[in-house]
Structure 1
Amino acid sequence: MELSPRGVNMKRAFIVPAIMVLFFSGCGKDKNEGGKTSPPQAKSESAAKSGGEKAQMPSRLQQAVKEGRISEEQARQIMARRAGGGDKPLVRLGTAARGEIRTHLVLNGTVEPERSVDVYARLSAYVQEVVREEGNRVREKDILARLDDTEIRISHQQAKIQLEQARLTLEEEKNNHQRNQELKENELISDMDFQASEARYRQSRLEFENKTENFKNLELQLNYTRIRAPVSGFVTQRLIEVGDRVTANQHVYTVEDFSPLLIRVFVPAADINKLQAGMNAEISSDTLPGRTFTGHIKLINPRIDVQSGTVKVTIEVNDSSLTLKPGMFVEVNIVTRSREDALVIPRTAVLYQRDQVLVFRFREGKAVAAPVSVGVTEDDRVEIVEGLEEGDTIIIQGAEMLKDGVEVSVLK
């Protein structure tokens, strides 16, 4: 039977798509290295793995990982359990135990020397010798530098000779005056001669006193040519060079006393009643990782700064190793309250809800809500005053979405 052109075209339109379906269906089969078709189980595992890699972690889980409450491995376990259809909330357990807990006041400040003394030249002269450099340790009255003393030394020597001459003259006039007194008593000398003798004696005494003061002044100037340390400590500034001409009252050195060191911190007025002079303080610095230093409160200013609302508190610290240095930025940690035998749990176990504070106990696979009263808080630990007993097993992670009596699975 012959087909019309229209019938032939319809038949071709049916056959061609069918052939293409069969061809691509055969090409799309998975085969292993031996050319065999992969089993359905392998395809399922591959799809599951691919789906797990592409799955996005919920924002709440990401936040928990970021805050360090759970590790990435634990997050993957939670994700895997969700993918497997688990319906019990995952939690981590801990134990209520006794231990020491403290409250701290953390402040920042800068290390300062107890004393910083500027040294000044006392006269005008050229610098002859620089004896001590920056960083040198000095004692009180140690020589820091010497000034040229040539002219002053000559004047000092002349004054010394003049003083000796005045002393000899005074002794001679004194002896003459004593003899004249005896002669006067025996009426062997006139009143006029005796008065002249007495005047010469007084004049020689005044001359001796004048020469003495002049000699002392030159001796003092000679001593000023040696610039000395006014206090014991370290040289932190040298502002002169050999050959410089210094003038009177010119700043030439700075000496600082590092024993002890001081740290001035500013405490909010609301916290000042927690502090007392003598309280211990721990000092640390980012520039000295792992090192802590012990100090104590030396002074508490009785006045509150009106603009900042703070009170200046001075911390004293002794560091014989000289590791702490003036100018160093430090953190000061002051213990304001301490409990040695407190019942302590992790802070993550405590839930604050409207009018109560809750902790979930773990009993027979269930989360049991327990109202508690909290006391001192230190970093990531909280003191429980009432509501728990020592040794109670509690939920320390995963409690945020729990309800009283719900069954839970323990995250390992």
Structure 2
Amino acid sequence: MEKQITKKISGISKKKKFLLFSIIIVFILFAAFRIISSRLNKESLDKTPVNVKTAEALMSTIEVTTPLSGVISAEDQVSLMATLQTEVTRVNVKVGDYVTKGDVLFTQDTEQVQASYNQAAAGVSISQEALNSAKTNYERMATLYKEGAVSQQQYEQAETNYKTCQGQLDSSLAAQASAQSMLSNGTMTAPISGYITEVNLTEGAYPSLSSAAVSIANTEKLELEANVSEYLIGKIKVGDKVSVTAKSLSNEPFNGTVKTISPAPASGNLTYPVTISFNQLPDGIKAGMFAEVNLVSDQKSNVLCIPSDAVIIKASETTVVLLKDGIPSYVSVETGLDNGTLVEIKSGLKKGDLVVTEGQHYIIEGEKVNIIK
């Protein structure tokens, strides 16, 4: 077999041998060129500086805010309940009407109540006449008793009768006052000026005694009601300034002031009611709108801060990339308050240090970087 192969090779002409060897050499040279070129390009790329953005460590004030949801409501509002279970004779208002304090809102049938009042008034008259008679008799008996013309028993009977009549008159006056109050409830007037926000009455029907008949809100002054957790309640006080945003209207915040803080949680709840007042509101704000309040839950002044984006976790350690003469190095730091924009640096940096805020994940420690604005 070897002899046959040798015979075939020997049969190839010298020209063909030269061509074959030339092709092999060209292939080897091309492959070597590709390998060397690839290595040169890689070395060239590796030497291209990484682009980074930087920031300076500065003394600043840092605040951490906590958002709360609340509802804009009228500062002065009332819900009026019907107290008579009698027919509604007239309804003078509808939702959206503006009323002035003292305006008649609705009336109810008071025929039976009037009869009770008349009866009570008659009872007062009878009791008053009885008292007058008892008083006269008592005074006469007192004079006669002093003169010895009547016995002590007769005098004490007159005195007892006088006191009894006085008590009966007091009871009659109380009954009359109660009837008078019920009679006045037949005409419901507005206790404040404002807009009608609710009407649950129909002429000719009987009102519900378990829900508001009419509600009024004075929308000239609005406030916001929110609930604060026990974690935050100790970090705010009356008079604190807050930022408020009504996103249904605009993303532009407006200012508010903490007006009241409940000293105890709301009934059946674990949160504390808080009221926010406003000196000036943007156009379009209406009662019933939802709003978001940003309460300052933590604050530190004159502390060393850097952008939050500069901090990275490397090998379970909090670090930043520090630049000195354009050369980066990893530095361990201890952080404090962090509001997502700024972070407090307790140790590891000093004022004026330059740190990398973008591109720090791609740097090679000790190799120069390119700082971009």
TM-score range, shorter chain: 0.5 to 0.7
Are 1:346 and 2:307 matched, yes or no? yes
CA distance in 1, matches of 2:140, 2:263: 73
Are 1:314 and 2:273 matched, yes or no? yes
Q: Is the 8 A contact 1:109 1:265 kept in 2?
A: no
Equivalent position to 1:404, from 359, 365, 370:
365
Partner of 1:72: none
**What's the offset of the Cα at 1:342?**
2.2
**What's the offset of the Cα at 1:394?**
3.1
CA distance in 1, matches of 2:317, 2:163: 100
Question: Which runs of 5 or more structure 1 residues have no equivalent in the other structure?
Answer: 1-83
**What's the offset of the Cα at 1:263?**
0.5
Larger displacement relative to structure 2 (145-154 or 375-384): 145-154
Partner of 1:46: none
CA distance in 2, matches of 1:299, 1:206: 45
Change (3 A) 1:210 1:91: closer
Q: What are the Cα deviations for residues 31-86 of structure 1, in whole angstroms up to 9, with x where unaligned?
A: xxxxxxxxxxxxxxxxxxxxxxxxxxxxxxxxxxxxxxxxxxxxxxxxxxxxx998
**What's the offset of the Cα at 1:87?**
2.4
Change (3 A) 1:321 1:235: farther
Equivalent position to 2:252, from 290, 310, 313:
290
Alignment of 1:13-412 (within 5 A): 87-110=48-71, 118-130=79-91, 134=95, 144-149=105-110, 152-153=113-114, 156=117, 160=121, 163-164=124-125, 167-168=128-129, 170-172=131-133, 174-175=135-136, 178-179=139-140, 211-227=172-188, 236-246=197-207, 251-254=212-215, 261-266=224-229, 272=231, 275-276=234-235, 278=237, 280=240, 281-288=242-249, 289-296=251-258, 298-299=261-262, 312-319=271-278, 327-412=288-373
Change (3 A) 1:408 1:138: same
**What's the offset of the Cα at 1:215?**
3.1
Change (3 A) 1:298 1:377: same
**What's the offset of the Cα at 1:179?**
4.9
Q: Is the 8 A contact 2:73 2:222 kept in 1?
A: no
Q: Is the 8 A contact 2:69 2:293 kept in 1?
A: yes
**What's the offset of the Cα at 1:327?**
4.7
CA distance in 2, matches of 1:250, 1:364: 75
Change (3 A) 1:376 1:185: closer
Question: 1:290 corresponds to which letter in structure 2?
Answer: E
**What's the offset of the Cα at 1:401?**
0.8
Larger displacement relative to structure 2 (345-354 or 171-180): 171-180
CA distance in 1, matches of 2:58, 2:156: 105
CA distance in 2, matches of 1:246, 1:183: 61
Q: What are the Cα deviations for residues 253-279 of structure 1, in whole angstroms up to 9, with x where unaligned?
A: 346798764211457xxxx28944528
CA distance in 2, matches of 1:129, 1:302: 42
Change (3 A) 1:94 1:150: same
Identity of aligned residues (%): 21
CA distance in 1, matches of 2:104, 2:87: 16
Change (3 A) 1:207 1:346: closer
Q: What are the Cα deviations for residues 367-402 of structure 1, in whole angstroms up to 9, with x where unaligned?
A: 343333322212222222333332333332211110
Q: Is the 8 A contact 1:300 1:312 kept in 2?
A: no
Q: Is the 8 A contact 2:70 2:225 kept in 1?
A: no
CA distance in 2, matches of 1:148, 1:131: 15
Q: Is the 8 A contact 1:125 1:247 kept in 2?
A: no
Q: Is the 8 A contact 1:274 1:336 kept in 2?
A: no
Q: Is the 8 A contact 2:232 2:297 kept in 1?
A: no
Q: Is the 8 A contact 1:237 1:254 kept in 2?
A: yes
What is the alpha-carbon root mean square deviation over aligned residues? 5.0
**What's the offset of the Cα at 1:236?**
3.8
Q: Is the 8 A contact 2:68 2:226 kept in 1?
A: no
Q: Is the 8 A contact 1:295 1:315 kept in 2?
A: no
Q: What are the Cα deviations for residues 280-332 of structure 1, in whole angstroms up to 9, with x where unaligned?
A: 454333124212343448247689x9xxxx95243321235577766543333
Count of equivalent residues: 319
Structure-2-length-normalised TM-score: 0.63
Question: 1:294 corresponds to which letter in structure 2?
Answer: G
Question: 1:350 corresponds to which letter in structure 2?
Answer: V
Q: Is the 8 A contact 1:112 1:263 kept in 2?
A: no
Q: What are the Cα deviations for residues 308-367 of structure 1, in whole angstroms up to 9, with x where unaligned?
A: xx9524332123557776654333333232222222222222222014333333444433
**What's the offset of the Cα at 1:239?**
0.9
